[in-house]
Amino acid sequence: MKTFSFLTLLGSLLLLTACQPSGSEKADPTPETAETPIEITENAFVVDGAWARVGMQGGMSAAYFTIANGLGEDDVLVGASSSVAEATEVHETYDAGEGMMGMRERTSLPIAANSVTEFKQGGLHVMFLRLTEELAEGDEVQFTLQFEKAGEISVTAPVRMR
Amino acid sequence: MILFQRTRQGARRNERSTQDTSRHQHTGQHPVQLSVMWVMLATLFLSSCIQEPTESFRDLSVTLTDHRGQTVTFPDDYLGSPMMIGYVYTNCPDICSLITANVNQIEGLVRDSNPELADPSSENQPSYIIMTFDPARDTPEQMAKYAASFNMADEPFHFLTGDSTAIQTVMERMRVRTSVSYDTVSASGERVYFLSHSDKIYLLDEDASLVYEYGGSMTTPTMMAEDLSNEL
């Protein structure tokens, strides 16, 4: 019985190993974008590491950054504005199930005390709807984030492909 | 999430299975008992890994238009070298831009590791295709602007659109699904809508058979470039 159990176990392991889609567990040796982790600075509310995606005039673009709230009190991101697009909104890409990705607006995003909130590709982003000008690599975009407590924070983001 | 980044098709799955079996040949049990067990195991093993027929898109032969305004037949015009295909719509700022940027980066990585591909017209040059699932808005002119904004207007990049029936035919076969997720009116009074959509990049071989299906925005270009180089 022991042999059988052993072989069954071995067999099961083999089956698991063999039938997994190859590469599904393959870890990337080096992250594609090695970003310096943002640290929370006590008594400071910092928006850092901003960049925006290239986009064509009349098209869409998005900005990504990190918010480090070291103020010791919760805040809320209530909006964004810019002069490069007809509308500037806070959006979030989310998993809509069955392999589908969707996007929704976040009109009120809690920013907890002593937390770091990352706006990154495939997640939270400030979205520029219908760009009034082309955003090309090397350009800079200025936009403003509106927080309930921290007030308005101006951000300058270099334009990149990724 | 990593588990769903890439799905391997057909033949290669079995190649790997064979290698895995060879690592477990000596267990020190009674030979007869062992043989029986191994036959059972092998049967189980093979039946669970039974090879799915390789999915081919060769028969699609659909007429599309590229961002240069040329009428093309997909996949016919691209046969003979592998194809890396990203599915996007140009009004999508986040995921699709990432998919497009990924395809761009894959091209650079593959070229770096295969110096003969520095010539865009090289015989083995893969086709890097960005195909829209929003043909109503993504005209060839729109695709050209989109390609230019990513510095991908030249060979070996191909941004494809077509009439809605043709695109629907392709997307159904490629299992790329969409639904309107967000509908608003812009300051200038124009309707702006967004789509929920499948997040995919496909690697097809030179005969337009599916090699890999990736989570388009979730898989690193390094991995996809490696797979494409292996097809060359």
| CB of B139 less than 8 A from some CB of A | no
Instruction: For B47-88, write each residue's pLDDT tens digit.
Output: 554 555 579 999 999 999 999 999 999 999 999 999 999 999
Whether residue B71 sits in one domain with residue B42: no
Residue of B8, B94, B179 lying closest to A122 (CB–CB): B94
For B76, what's the count of Cα atoms within 13 Å in the CB-facing half-sphere? 9
pLDDT band, very low/low/confident/very high, at B10 (cuts 50, 70, 90): very low
Residue B9 lies in a domain: yes
Q: Where exactly are the structural domains of chain A?
A: 45-160
Residues 77-116 of A with CB under 8 A from B: 86-87, 91, 93, 96, 98-105
Same domain, B33 and B72: no
What is the model's pLDDT at position B92?
85
**In this structure, are B19 and B62 located in the same domain?**
no
The answer as to whether B31 is a domain residue is: yes
Interface of B with A in 14-33 (CB under 8 A): 16-17, 20-21, 24, 27, 29-30, 33
* Min distance A129 CA to chain B CA atoms (Å): 8
Higher pLDDT, B17 or A136: A136
pLDDT digits (tens, 9 = 90+) for A9-53: 555 555 444 444 433 333 344 444 445 567 788 888 999 999 999
What is the distance between the alpha carbons of residues B47 and B226, in angstroms, rounded to a whole number?
29
CATH T-level fold of A45-160: Immunoglobulin-like (2.60.40)
Picking from A32, A56, A86, the nearest residue to B222 by CB comes out as A32
Q: Which residue of A has its CA nearest to B15?
A: A18
Nearest CB partner across the interface for A54, out of B45, B149, B192: B149
Domain count, chain B: 2
From chain A, the residues in CB contact with B220 under 8 A are: 28, 31-32
Between B227 and A59, the more confident residue is: B227
B103 with B21, same domain?
no
Query: Which range marks the domain in which residue B14 is found?
Result: 2-48
Same-domain pairing of B24 and B67: no
pLDDT in tens, B130-185: 999 999 999 999 999 999 989 999 999 999 999 999 999 999 999 999 998 878 78
Say whether both B25 and B120 belong to one domain. Answer: no
Residues B43 and B68 in one domain: no
A24-33, A147-156, B108-117, B161-170: least confidently modelled range: A24-33
B11 shares its domain with B81 = no
Q: Do A11 and B8 touch (CB under 8 A)?
A: no
User: What CATH number does the domain containing B198 carry?
Assistant: 3.40.30.10
Whether B70 is covered by a domain: the verdict is yes
Q: Looking at chain A from residue 23 to 52, which residues have their Cβ under 8 Å from any Cβ of chain B?
A: 23-28, 30-32
Q: Do A14 and B37 touch (CB under 8 A)?
A: no
Asked, for residue B163, whether it belongs to a domain, the answer is yes
Could you tell me if B21 and B89 lie in one domain?
no
Angle, helix B31-48 to helix A2-19, in steps of 10 degrees: 30
Contact criterion met (CB below 8 Å) for A71 and A43: yes
Across the interface, do A122 and B95 touch by the CB < 8 Å criterion? yes
Same domain for B69 and B36, yes or no, is no
**B136 belongs to a structural domain:** yes
Task: Give pLDDT tens digits for A110-135.
Answer: 999 999 999 999 899 999 998 999 99
Residue A67: Cβ within 10 Å count: 25
Of A11, A21, A100, the CB nearest to B8: A21
* Contact (CB, 8 A) for A14 and B20: yes
In a domain, B53, yes or no: no
Indicate whether B27 pLDDT > 70. no
The DSSP code sequence of A39-91 is PPPTT-EEEEEEEEE-B-TTS-EEEEEEEEE-SSS-EEEEEEEESSEEEEEEE
Taking contacts as CB-CB distances below 8 angstroms, the residues of chain A near B98 are 121-122, 162
